[in-house]
Structure 1
Amino acid sequence: MLPIKKAESYTPGHNNSPRVLLVGYNGANNTGSESRLLSIIQDIRWALGPEVRLTIPTLNEEKLKRYVQKEKNLKIVPLPSIYFLSLRKLVKNHDFILLIEGSCYMDTWTSALLWAFLWATRCAHTFKKPCLAYAVDAGDLSPLNKFLVKKEASKSNLIITRNYKSAEILKSVGVTAPIKITADCALNFESHTLNGIVEHFSPHRGLAGMAVVNFYLWPVVLRPFGKKKDEYKWPYYFSHSKKREKLEKKLARSWAKQADRLVDIHHKNIALICMEDLDEGLAHQVLSYMKNKENAQIFSSKDLNASKMTGLLQNLDILITSRYHASILSLSHQVPQIAIGHDRRLEILYEELKMYPDYFFKYDDPDLWEKVENKVDEILENPAKTQRLLESGFENQYSRSLQNRSLLKSFLKGGK
C-alpha cells in the first residue's frame, strides 16, 4: 500500500486550532448524507479535540440547519450554485480539506457534484493543503470524467474507499494517490427509539419497508433555463421527457402492486421510506395506486431526522431498497432485505455482503418484479437464512469501518 502523501507545507490556524473544511452533499434532506456528516463530525472531534474548527459549505443552509446547528467552532457557509470561486476561497482559508460525500467519484447523479469534489481537490493541491476523501465510493464515469478523476483525484493526499471495488475502479482509471479500504462511516451511527413513529399501525401486523427512488429524474443536468418543476437548484435541472414520465408511472404502479401483495398475502403494513425528500414524489404516486392505502404510510427524511429514520429501518420485518444507506443503516439489526439497484453502490455492497446476485436486481431487468415477488416470499418464509448472511456481512463491514477514525487521526496529525 502506498504511504500517505504529505502536503508540501502546512500552517495551522491561530491558537493551533486546525480549520477543517467538509465538502459534501450537505443540506439536502438526505438521510445517508446526514448520518455520514454527523458521524464524521464526531470522528474529527475525536481525532483533534473539541476545539477543532469545522466549516460545512452547503447549497441549502436552511435544510442543513435541521440537523446541524452553528456552534462556536462550527460554521455553516452557503455556497452559490456556480461554486468555483467561493469553494476555492474556502479551501484557501482552511488547513485540511475532507471530501465527505459517499458518492464521490461517480457521475450517476450529476457531473456537477463530481466536479465540485475534483475542484476542491485541485484547489487544495494548488494551496498545498492536505486533502482526504473519507470513506467514499467510485462508480460509473464518462470518458471525460475518467480523465478528470485520473488527473485531479491523483492530487489527493489520501483516498479512503468504503469498499474494495471502488479502489479497483480508481486504480483502473489511473488514479495514483494512496488508497486505503475501509467501510462506510455511517455504520457507527446511533439510532433513536421507534416510539411514536409508527404508532397508528395495527400492532397485529408486521412492517415492511420500501425505500423508493425515482430513477428517471437522473442525472441532473446543467442548463441555463428549464421548467420550474424540473429545477433542482438553478442552473441544475432533473432529466425530463414524456418517455421518462411513463416509465416513472410504471415504476410507481409496480411498487404499489408489491405493497398490496405484502398487505394481502403476508399481512404486513407498509412503510414507504423516502431517504431523501426528492423521493416523496414517487412515494406519493405509489400510495395513490395502492388499494390498501390504509395499511401504508410515507416516512420522509424531511420530517424524520437520521436517528429516527434509522430506528424505523432497524425495526422492519423486511426491506426492499433502492437506497444504499437504507441497507447500511439497517445492517446492525440484520433486517432481511433485497435491493433494486440503479447505480453501482448497492451492487458493490451486496457483493461484499455475499448477497449478490441472489438478493440484488437491476432496475431495468425485464423480469424484475417476478424475481422480487419470489424473493420476498422466500425471505418471509425463512428469514433466518438471510439474517445469517447479514450478520456475517455486518461484522465484516463494521470491523472495517472502525479503521476510519485511526486513519483520519493519522492523516490529521500527520499534516502538522
Structure 2
Amino acid sequence: MMDWDVVASQLERSLAALNRYASASAPDEVFLDDLQQRIGAARRASARGGPRAPGEGLGAPSAAVASGASTAATASTASTAPGASSAAPRVLLLGYSGAGNTGADLRTIETIAQLRRLLAPRVPQITLFALGDCFDHPLLADTPRLTPALPYLPDALDAAVREADLVLNVEGSTYTSKFSDSLAGVLIGGLALAHAHGRPAIAYGVDSGTMSAALTRFVERNADGGEIICRNDAARQQLASLGVLAQAGADTAWTYRARPEASDATSPAARRVALCPNNPFWWPVRADAARARELDARGEASPLRYGPLHFHSWDAARAEAYHAYLDRFAQVAIGLREQGYTPVLVGMEQLDHSACVDLAARLPFEIELVTRGPRTLDEVAAAVAHAACVVTTRYHAAVLAISHGVPVFGLSMDTRIERLLGEVGCPQWSAACDDADGAKAALTAIGSLCRDEVRTALIAAYADYATSQRARIDAMGHRLRAALEG
C-alpha cells in the first residue's frame, strides 16, 4: 500500500529544490552540484545495501534543467511501467530527442532499431527522455516518452533510472560545454545515477570538446559513472586526461540509409548541392530565471529564449561574427552556382530555419529551403544524402554525406567535423566557420571534383571509413547485449 505522506514529502522536497534553482545566481553551475549530491546519496545508499527514496538528501541549492526544460515536463506520454518482466528489458534513452535536431534523432532511431534486432524475439520496453515535441518519424512517434515522477529534473532522473534495466546516453555532444552545461549534466549525471543504483549505464558513441571548469570537475568526479564508448580517438584521449576510461566506438547514425531518390544521376537533381548552415555563435544556452520571469511578467517574447528558462548567448561581437559567417556561406552558394550547381539550403535542426532565411536574403537568386519542421526528418536527410556535394556546419550532415558517398566540405564550429574529416583522411576538406578564407577553401575543394582521380579517391576513402564505422557499431551492440544479460 502506498504511503501518501512519503509521496507528498518527496514532492514537497522536489518542488523546494526547483524553487531554489529558480532563484540561483549561477543556476547552470549549481545544477551540476545538485546532480552530484543525488549521485553521492545514491552511492552511499548502494554501499549500505539499501534503496534511497527520490528526493532524499536534498539541501544544496538546486539548479537548471537540461537546455531549457525547467521541470522535465516537456517529456510527455506514458513512462515504462515498473516491475516489468525481465523478458522485456526496460531501456531508458537519454538524449536530445524531440528538439527537431536531425542528427540527434538519427542516432536515437538507429539505436532503437539496433536494440530491437539484438534482443529479438524479446521486445524491449524503450522510454525516451525528450526535450520537445517534434516526433516526425514513425519510430520516434511510436516510442513512449518519460513522464516525470517529480517536478525537479534531477529527482525525476533519479526515479526514472531505477525503473530501467539499462540506461543509454544516445546524444553525441556529451562531454562539452558548447551547447549547455545543463544538458551535459543530464547526459553524464543520468548515467552516473544509474551506475550508482547498480543499473547498467552506457554512453553510446559520444564525443567531447571544450568544457567549463564546473563541467570538468563534474566529469572528473564521475569518471567511473558507467561505460563510455566514444566515436573518435581524440575524444577518448581527452577523456583519459580526466580519468575517464573510454572504449572505441562510432556514431550510430552511420547505419541510417536515406530513402531512395526518384531521380537518376543524369537528372538536374544530380547537380544539387546541399548547404547546411546554422548559427555557430549563439551557443551555449544558459539559464536565467530572472530574465525569464521579467519577460513573462511583461508578456514579451525573445528570439534568444530557448525553452522556459534558458537563453542563447548574444552580443555585438557574436552578431558581427554571425553576419560574416553568412557572407562567407553566401560566397560559397554563389560560387557553386557559377560552377553549375543548384544550391539548396538545408536546415538540419528546427533552429536552423532562421539561419537559412538569413542566408537566403543575402543571395541574388531564389533558393529552395528544406528545413526541419516544415519538412520531415526523412526529407531533410534525403536532401543531404542525395546531393551532388554538401557544405555544412552541422556534424551529422557530414556523416550523412560520407555514409552515402557524397563529397562534403565542413565549415566547422568546433572540433567535431575536423576530427571526422581527419579520420577519413581528408582534413583539407574542412575550415573553421570563422576562417576568412573558408569560402575560398570550400570552392577550391569542390572545384577539384572535376578531376576523376580526386573524386574516385575521395569516395573510396568514404566507403572504407563508413564500413569501419558500421563494424564498430556492431561491436558496440555486442557490448550492449552483454550489459543487459550480465
What letter matches 1:173 in structure 2?
L
1:56-135 paired onto structure 2 within 5 Å: 56-60=128-132, 62-64=133-135, 66-69=137-140, 71=142, 74-77=143-146, 83-135=153-205
Counterpart check, 1:280 vs 2:353? yes
Bigger Rg, which one:
2
Say if 2:176 and 2:209, in contact at 8 Å, map to a contact too.
yes
Say if 1:275 and 1:300, in contact at 8 Å, map to a contact too.
yes
Counterpart check, 1:184 vs 2:251? yes
What letter matches 1:348 in structure 2?
R
Say if 1:33 and 1:101, in contact at 8 Å, map to a contact too.
yes
Aligned partners of 1:67 and 1:150: how far apart in 2?
Answer: 38
Deviation at 1:78? 5.1
Counterpart check, 1:147 vs 2:214? no
Deviates more, 1:340-349 or 1:402-411: 402-411
Q: Kindly tell me: are residues 396 and 276 of structure 1, through their superposed partners in 2, closer, same or farther at Cα, counting changes over 3 Å?
A: same
Deviation at 1:117? 1.0
In the alignment, structure 2 segments of 5+ residues that lack a partner are: 1-45, 50-81, 293-300
Task: Please give the per-residue CA displacement for 1:131-153, whole angstroms capped at 9, x wherever unaligned.
Answer: 00111112221233222112224
- Cross-structure match for 1:3: none
Say if 1:45 and 1:52, in contact at 8 Å, map to a contact too.
yes
* Aligned residue-pair number: 394
Say if 2:284 and 2:313, in contact at 8 Å, map to a contact too.
yes
Aligned partners of 1:262 and 1:19: how far apart in 2?
Answer: 49
Could you tell me the TM-score, scaled by structure 1's length? 0.87
Q: Kindly tell me: are residues 90 and 114 of structure 1, through their superposed partners in 2, closer, same or farther at Cα, counting changes over 3 Å?
A: same
- Give the fraction of aligned pairs with identical amino acids, expressed as a percent: 22
Aligned partners of 2:200 and 2:393: how far apart in 1?
Answer: 35
Task: Please give the per-residue CA displacement for 1:41-85, whole angstroms capped at 9, x wherever unaligned.
Answer: 01111122252110001121x3136544565xx421256995211
Task: Please give the per-residue CA displacement for 1:6-59, whole angstroms capped at 9, x wherever unaligned.
Answer: x999x9842532100000011111111111111000111112225211000112
Counterpart check, 1:203 vs 2:268? yes
Q: Kindly tell me: are residues 216 and 82 of structure 1, through their superposed partners in 2, closer, same or farther at Cα, counting changes over 3 Å?
A: farther
Say if 1:70 and 1:76, in contact at 8 Å, map to a contact too.
no
Q: CA RMSD in A?
A: 2.6
1:215 alignment partner, SS class: coil
Q: Kindly tell me: are residues 254 and 405 of structure 1, through their superposed partners in 2, closer, same or farther at Cα, counting changes over 3 Å?
A: same
Task: Please give the per-residue CA displacement for 1:120-140, whole angstroms capped at 9, x wherever unaligned.
Answer: 022112211110011111222
Say if 1:58 and 1:77, in contact at 8 Å, map to a contact too.
yes
Q: Pick one of 427, 431, 434 that aligns with 1:364.
A: 434
- Cross-structure match for 2:127: 55
Q: Kindly tell me: are residues 376 and 15 of structure 1, through their superposed partners in 2, closer, same or farther at Cα, counting changes over 3 Å?
A: closer
- Cross-structure match for 2:229: 160
Deviation at 1:222? 1.4
What letter matches 1:191 in structure 2?
A
Say if 1:214 and 1:282, in contact at 8 Å, map to a contact too.
yes
What letter matches 2:430 in structure 1?
F
2:328 alignment partner, SS class: helix
What letter matches 2:271 in structure 1?
G
Q: Pick one of 390, 405, 415 that aligns with 1:344.
A: 415
- Cross-structure match for 1:4: none
Deviates more, 1:323-332 or 1:363-372: 363-372
Deviation at 1:204? 8.2
- Cross-structure match for 2:400: 329
- Cross-structure match for 2:283: 218
Q: Kindly tell me: are residues 371 and 279 of structure 1, through their superposed partners in 2, closer, same or farther at Cα, counting changes over 3 Å?
A: same
Say if 1:188 and 1:398, in contact at 8 Å, map to a contact too.
no
- Cross-structure match for 1:20: 91
Counterpart check, 1:253 vs 2:322? no
Q: Kindly tell me: are residues 332 and 304 of structure 1, through their superposed partners in 2, closer, same or farther at Cα, counting changes over 3 Å?
A: same
- Cross-structure match for 2:375: 304
Q: Kindly tell me: are residues 67 and 228 of structure 1, through their superposed partners in 2, closer, same or farther at Cα, counting changes over 3 Å?
A: farther
Say if 1:320 and 1:339, in contact at 8 Å, map to a contact too.
yes
In the alignment, structure 1 segments of 5+ residues that lack a partner are: 1-6
Counterpart check, 1:388 vs 2:462? no
2:369 alignment partner, SS class: strand
What letter matches 1:104 in structure 2?
T
Say if 2:347 and 2:380, in contact at 8 Å, map to a contact too.
no
Deviates more, 1:215-224 or 1:403-412: 403-412
Task: Please give the per-residue CA displacement for 1:329-381, whole angstroms capped at 9, x wherever unaligned.
Answer: 1213321221111111101101101111x1110122233223233323223x3
1:101 alignment partner, SS class: coil
- Cross-structure match for 1:410: 479
Say if 1:313 and 1:326, in contact at 8 Å, map to a contact too.
yes
